[in-house]
Amino acid sequence: MPLATAPAPISSDSWTIPVWRQVRWRILALLFLITVINFVDRQTLSVVAPTLRDTFHLSNTQYGFIGSAFMAGMLLAEFPMGYFMDRIGVRAGLSFAVVWWSIATALHAFAGSFLQFGLLRFWMGTGECGNFSGAMKVVSDWFPARERAFAAGIFNSGSMIGNLIAVPTITFLLLHYGWQMGFLLPGLLGVLWVLLWRAGYRPLKDHPSVSETEREYILRDRPAPTPPPSNHVLLARKETWALILCRLLVGPVVQFYLFWTPEYLVRVRHLSVAQIGLFAWVPFLFGDLGSIGGGWTSGFLMRRGFTLDAARRTVMGFGAVCCLLSVAVAKASSATLAIAFICVVLLGHTALSANMFAAITDVFPASAVGRVTGLTGIAGGLSGILFPSLTGILVDKISYTPVFILAAILPAAGVIALFACAGKLHPVKL
């Protein structure tokens, strides 16, 4: 494993302020919270899917197309939303994105057909893509390089916490108040979050609560600000295309597990809706452990002398190996064993993803992070459109087995593509 000279130790002055008074962690808590809400919004449809499919007589293929509509919305809006974040800032950008998708989420309660659900999922996707481009820009602005993967892992863990919360909560609402409430409540929570965000967030240079000690720690060893690079310059870089290709291959796997797991457990493993509420949240707990642990581990390795590139390779490689167990899900002899394999897959996938997103901030300056995240999101959206539809067709025509095989191979292919195309990860000069 390639090593480098250990980074210079951080002055003890950096730690004289208690953690709860360091503003960057409070801001990260808000990013974590909105990511939780985001994925409660997304997961609601999959939890109520058995009920909706029976009520509106939807086939697997139609259900897959509804998932593709969501990803089509993300594909269309990823780059404009990233440009929006870079151009006007994340305080206004995230406020708009969250209100926009929250309205779409709430309106699902009034949908009554395949077409209406598809259109609303498309609308929802055009807003929800702003979560990651905005959050990564905040991480780039507010955290030093050694903390960014951990910070990305923390807010990205909100995706798994959101799913963990969604499964039992939406199941309870479904059984006691009807499926409509599962869409109305998350929509309201998004609007309430915007009020907290508007009250608590300011850019680093303008935030009245940031101490000089914390500001100096955040900005230490950071390159001097540079003018925002043009889109042409970004698209001419091999690192941009390496990250795009990585997310193209890695992205649809977690979407498959989020969107199809309840359906798979009901139709193939013959669990009831009540059993889904009791057990289907467990894999998402492991996804949280992977997201936080993957981000922490890469920072730990760098503190122990690993280069940034070596730390990212190690953790992402571990995650890709875990994802290979997707094949075992289809062959498991029981529902319990299948859920156990899904736990390992999601742990590995989220560890990989936390470092994949952090790699954007490793390579590109803060003035380009929103757009590069958006460009990778376009790739994720493209594969996200194709994979749900392909899943529905394969399940209708064959079975889940070929889908699980693809889910095993794609993350490893994404990691190989990233490092084969980009070479060593390091800040680029634009």
Q: What percent of the chain has pLDDT over 70?
A: 93
| Cβ neighbours for 113, distance < 8 A, ≥ 6 positions apart | 56
Res 298 pLDDT > 50: yes
User: Is residue 13 predicted with pLDDT exceeding 70?
Assistant: no
8 Å CB contact between 66 and 121: yes
Question: What is the CATH classification number for the domain harbouring 262?
Answer: 1.20.1250.20
Residue 48 or residue 7, greater confidence = 48
Phi and psi at residue 230, in whole multiples of 5°?
A: -75, 160
Domain with 69, as residue range(s), is: 20-222+229-422
Residue 193 covered by a domain:
yes
- Asked whether residue 11 is assigned to any structural domain, the reply reads no
Q: Is 236 helix (H, G, I), strand (E, B) or coil?
A: coil
pLDDT single digits (tens) 201-227: 998 888 888 888 888 888 876 666 667
Write b or e for each residue in 126-155: b if 16 or more Cβ atoms lie within 10 A of its Cβ, otherwise e: bbbbbbbbbbbbbbbbbbbbbbbbbbbbbb
Question: Which amino acid, 259?
Answer: F
**Residue 313: per-residue pLDDT:** 93
pTM: 0.68
Instruction: Report if residue 6 sits inside a domain.
Output: no
The domain total for the chain is 1
Distance, in Å, from the CA atom of 207 to the CA atom of 405, rounded to the nearest integer, reads: 48
Over residues 345-365, the mean pLDDT reads 89
In a domain, 12, yes or no: no
Q: Give the tokens for residue 57.
A: 């007589």
Q: Is 37 within the bounds of a domain? A: yes
For residue 191, give both structure tokens.
Answer: 């609007």
- Region for residue 178 given its phi and psi (left: phi exceeds 0; alpha: psi -120 to 50; beta: otherwise): left
Assign residue 109 a region: left if phi > 0, alpha if psi is -120 to 50, beta otherwise?
alpha
The CA distance from 282 to 330, in Å, is: 18
Domain-located, residue 134: yes
**How sure is the predictor about 1, in pLDDT bands with cuts at 50, 70 and 90?**
very low
Residue pair 282/377 in contact by the 8 Å Cβ criterion? no
Q: Reduce the DSSP state of residue 57 to 3 states and report it.
A: coil
In a domain, 414, yes or no: yes
pLDDT band at 23 (very low <50, low <70, confident <90, very high): confident
In a domain, 38, yes or no: yes
